[in-house]
Amino acid sequence: MKVARQAKILELIEQNAVETQEDLARLLRESGYSVTQATISRDIRELKLTKISSDGGRQRYAALAATDAEISERIIRVFRDAVVKLDYSQNIIVIKTLNGMGMAVGVAIDSMETNDILGSIAGDDTVFCVARTHSQAVEFMQKLNRIISA
């Protein structure tokens, strides 16, 4: 739940000019998340969100660029917490997740910035990834299995 909520926070601050924790809490509630001010505050700290200037001199939340180590840690945490099953056929990889975690896993895959994957589509509990070739799909599956089992 935490990983999905934090992925939603990143999505919300990217799509909206979120100025306060109250704004963020309201948007999360509208998206179906039950949150407290303490939870929001902890998520902001863990995600290393900062305030930046926007139009009209107002301030809004934004994500700081994460280091490779931080990205790797988040990817590993998302996969270990959310992925239920991995499979592939030819150049298509299918990742089954816990309910509601498909988007979080999709974000994690996109953050990998691998050349093996042409693109991905995430639903509620499934992510489809398309590799260029069958061998790249196999390599990517092996990489994902290493992440999960490490």
Q: Which structural domains are found in the chain, ordered by start? A: 2-63 (1.10.10.10), 68-149 (3.30.1360.40)
Report yes or no: 129 and 60 within 8 Å, Cβ to Cβ: no
Who has greater pLDDT, 71 or 110? 110
**pLDDT value at residue 81:** 86
Q: Dihedrals φ, ψ of 33, to 5°?
A: -100, 130
- Give the least confident one: 21-30, 79-88, 89-98, 111-120: 111-120
Q: In this predicted model, what pLDDT tens digit does every residue of 82-113 receive, in sequence order?
A: 899 999 999 999 999 999 888 888 888 887 77
* Closest to 105 measured CA to CA, from 148, 43, 136, 57: 148
86 CA to centre of own chain: 17
- Give the least confident one: 14-23, 60-69, 108-117: 60-69
Residue with tokens 């953050």: 111
Q: Dihedrals φ, ψ of 116, to 5°?
A: -70, -25
